[in-house]
């Protein structure tokens, strides 16, 4: 009987131990399952993060590749175009998320380096082209000057009217070619090619007009108070500038419309004002013209258009080198107004009209009541202000106090001997004033007679030229009755 309870107790003890073991195993398995699930969850999160990171990295890589393609296909061509035409914009980043990033800095660095390389190469190529053109134009210009001299010699040599007319036509065509070559050479940095003497401003403008086709449309009004002249070193540069401005005015206005030129004298210099009645210029064109007239050192031949327009560019180079000024603006007449301002110091002087008479082809000043006591103003201060320090201005004629007299008399042909000039000291300690020498015919005339004041009329000038032509023809007719001589020549046998 005692063995049965013991057996039951042993069974119960064994069952309890087994239950405890099973419970422990169950708890341990549960912990392992939780740890496994945690590891699985962490692995899934890491895998998801890795996948997301890989996806973001792939998207950024594709965006960077798109920016590089955009740089090569759009931004670099825009940069190349903008260097030649500054108004063309250069496109920015394709994706705004790269703004301020290292990628943006790297791409901007590429643009800067490419731009500097293109600019240096363009300047090198343009400098080589300018050097070649400068050498070529200098040689051609010298040959054209020799041809001009030969044509002028033949004009004096042959007296046949038809030959003379043909020579004049050939000389005018040579002048057109010379003007174009000269302007091209000046744009490329060449010297204007001529050295002249001190020349009256009125004569300079007439000479510039004679270089142009359509010169008969140019109407010159001389409003200078004194016989103002341009110093020798600036004569040809100013003549080139006036010529190019007149060429622009003639080209952009109707062939039946005039181009007016006004010579004005100020306190500190003189101005040549050119007005046309043509189509005018837009604001952008005027802005571009002023940039060319400013004489920028970095001017490239490619900026002159196709075909190149070298007129304003040549004027700008001369403005920078010689110190006078040029300004263009809309004209009150609807076209374009161009003003060439010449500073009195050091580009202007006043010549003695008796020692160096003005050409008869130069326009005479339109001085109202000049030479009379009632209408004469004191111009000593104005003449002194226009001149550089140390230059002397011509004073009044005999019998007139404080004026310059008839300053247009020197432009007329001399018909009588002239009286000697005299230095008249200034009472206020200023510069000495040279008294202009007047022809005896003017001294004997009544100073209050209006006929001695008015300028020669066109009819009188035409009659004088007609008389000269008739005398020439009568001389040729008389020469035909003489024994025969060498045909078509005035040279001695």
In a domain, 48, yes or no: no
- What is the chain's pLDDT, residue by residue, as a tens digit (493 residues)? 556 666 666 666 666 766 666 666 677 777 777 777 777 777 767 666 676 677 777 888 888 889 999 999 999 999 988 987 888 899 989 888 888 888 889 999 999 999 999 999 988 999 999 999 999 999 999 999 999 999 999 999 988 889 999 999 999 999 999 999 999 999 998 988 888 899 999 999 999 999 999 999 999 999 999 999 999 999 999 999 999 999 999 999 999 999 999 999 998 999 999 999 999 999 989 998 998 998 877 788 888 887 888 899 999 999 999 999 999 999 998 899 999 999 988 899 999 888 989 888 888 886 533 443 333 334 334 444 455 544 444 433 333 333 333 333 333 333 333 333 333 344 343 333 444 444 444 444 444 444 333 445 566 666 776 677 677 666 666 655 544 444 333 333 3
Q: Which secondary structure element, helix H or strand E, spans residue 322, and what is its range?
A: helix 311-322
Distance separating alpha carbons of residues 58 and 53, to the nearest angstrom: 8
The reply to whether 142 and 227 lie within a common domain is: no
Distance separating alpha carbons of residues 100 and 452, to the nearest angstrom: 83
The reply to whether 236 and 130 lie within a common domain is: no
The reply to whether 436 and 346 lie within a common domain is: yes
Residue 404 pLDDT:
31
The reply to whether 217 and 282 lie within a common domain is: yes
Q: Which residues contact 406 (CB under 8 A, 6 or more apart)?
A: 367, 370, 371, 397, 438, 442, 452, 453
The reply to whether 265 and 218 lie within a common domain is: yes
In a domain, 313, yes or no: yes
Residue 32 pLDDT:
72
Half-sphere exposure of 204 (CA within 13 A, CB side): 30
In a domain, 460, yes or no: no
CATH of the domain at 366: 3.30.565.10
Q: Which secondary structure element, helix H or strand E, spans residue 350, and what is its range?
A: strand 348-350
The reply to whether 202 and 152 lie within a common domain is: no
- Six-digit token string for 194: 């001529």
Q: Is 36 helix (H, G, I), strand (E, B) or coil?
A: helix
Distance separating alpha carbons of residues 472 and 423, to the nearest angstrom: 42
Is 473 within 8 Å of 480 (Cβ atoms)?
no
Boundary residue ending a domain (123, 138, 172): 172
Distance set, CA 274 to CA 262, 263, 284, 356, 418 (Å):
7, 9, 20, 27, 36
Boundary residue ending a domain (155, 172, 189): 172
The reply to whether 284 and 150 lie within a common domain is: no
In a domain, 275, yes or no: yes
Tell me, rounded to whole angstroms, the distance of Cα 134 from its chain centroid.
Answer: 18
The reply to whether 330 and 234 lie within a common domain is: yes
In a domain, 482, yes or no: no
In a domain, 338, yes or no: yes
Distance separating alpha carbons of residues 443 and 449, to the nearest angstrom: 12
This prediction has a pTM of: 0.64
Across the beta sheet with 269-276, the strand order is 218-222, 259-265, 269-276, 336-343, 325-330
Tell me the residue range of the domain where 156 lies. 104-172
Task: Give 45: exposed, middle or buried? Use CB within 10 Å, 0-12, 13-18, 19+.
Answer: exposed
In a domain, 233, yes or no: yes
Q: Which residues contact 456 (CB under 8 A, 6 or more apart)?
A: 364, 412
Question: How many structural domains is the chain composed of?
Answer: 2
Is 403 within 8 Å of 365 (Cβ atoms)?
no
The reply to whether 240 and 165 lie within a common domain is: no
Closest CA to 358 of 436, 245, 268: 436
Task: Give 324: exposed, middle or buried? Use CB within 10 Å, 0-12, 13-18, 19+.
Answer: buried
Distance separating alpha carbons of residues 462 and 53, to the nearest angstrom: 99
The reply to whether 376 and 436 lie within a common domain is: yes
Boundary residue ending a domain (172, 189, 205): 172
The reply to whether 226 and 328 lie within a common domain is: yes
Q: Which residues contact 330 (CB under 8 A, 6 or more apart)?
A: 280, 281, 286, 336, 337
Distance separating alpha carbons of residues 46 and 29, to the nearest angstrom: 25
In a domain, 467, yes or no: no
The reply to whether 374 and 265 lie within a common domain is: yes
CB count, 10 Å around CB of 145? 15
Residue 314 pLDDT:
93
């Amino acid at each position: 009987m005692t063995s049965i309870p013991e057996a039951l107790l042993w069974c119960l003890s064994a069952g309890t131990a087994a239950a405890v073991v099973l419970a422990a195993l169950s708890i341990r398995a549960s912990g392992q399952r939780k740890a496994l699930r945690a590891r699985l969850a962490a692995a899934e999160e890491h895998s998801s993060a890795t996948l997301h990171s890989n996806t973001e990295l792939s998207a950024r890589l594709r965006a960077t590749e798109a920016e590089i393609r955009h740089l090569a296909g759009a931004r670099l061509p825009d940069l190349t175009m903008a260097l030649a035409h500054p108004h063309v914009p250069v496109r920015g980043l394709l994706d705004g998320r790269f703004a301020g990033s290292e990628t943006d800095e790297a791409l901007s660095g590429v643009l800067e380096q490419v731009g500097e390389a293109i600019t240096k190469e363009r300047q090198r190529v343009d400098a080589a082209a300018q050097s070649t053109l400068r050498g070529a134009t200098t040689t051609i210009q010298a040959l054209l000057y020799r041809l001009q001299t030969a044509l002028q010699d033949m004009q004096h040599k042959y007296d046949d009217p038809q030959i003379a007319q043909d020579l004049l036509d050939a000389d005018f065509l040579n002048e057109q070619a010379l003007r174009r070559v000269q302007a091209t050479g000046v744009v490329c940095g060449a010297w204007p090619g001529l050295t002249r003497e001190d020349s009256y401003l009125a004569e300079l403008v007439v000479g510039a007009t004679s270089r142009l086709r359509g010169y008969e449309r140019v109407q010159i009004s001389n409003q200078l108070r004194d016989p103002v002249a341009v110093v020798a070193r600036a004569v040809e540069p100013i003549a080139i500038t006036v010529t190019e401005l007149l060429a622009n005015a003639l080209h952009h206005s109707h062939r039946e419309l005039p181009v007016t030129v006004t010579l004005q004298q100020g306190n500190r210099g003189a101005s040549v004002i050119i007005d046309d009645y043509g189509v005018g210029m837009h604001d952008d064109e005027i802005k571009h013209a002023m940039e060319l007239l400013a004489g920028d050192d970095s001017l490239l031949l490619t900026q002159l258009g196709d075909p190149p327009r070298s007129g304003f560019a040549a004027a700008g180079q001369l403005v920078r080198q010689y110190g006078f000024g040029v300004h263009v603006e809309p004209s009150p007449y609807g076209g374009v107004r161009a003003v060439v301002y010449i500073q009195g110091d050091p580009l202007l002087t006043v010549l003695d009209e008796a020692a160096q008479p003005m050409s008869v082809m130069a326009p005479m000043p339109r001085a109202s009541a000049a030479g009379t006591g009632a209408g004469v103003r004191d111009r000593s201060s104005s003449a002194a202000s226009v001149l550089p320090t140390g230059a002397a201005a011509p004073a009044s004629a005999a019998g007139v106090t404080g004026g310059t007299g008839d300053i247009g008399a020197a432009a007329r042909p001399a018909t009588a001997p002239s009286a000697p000039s005299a230095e008249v000291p200034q009472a206020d300690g200023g510069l000495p004033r040279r008294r202009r020498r007047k022809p005896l015919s003017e001294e004997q005339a009544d100073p209050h007679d209006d006929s001695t004041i008015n300028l020669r009329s066109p009819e009188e000038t035409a009659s004088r030229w007609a008389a000269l032509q008739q005398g020439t023809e009568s001389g040729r007719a008389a020469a035909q009755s003489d024994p025969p001589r060498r045909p078509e020549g005035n040279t001695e046998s």
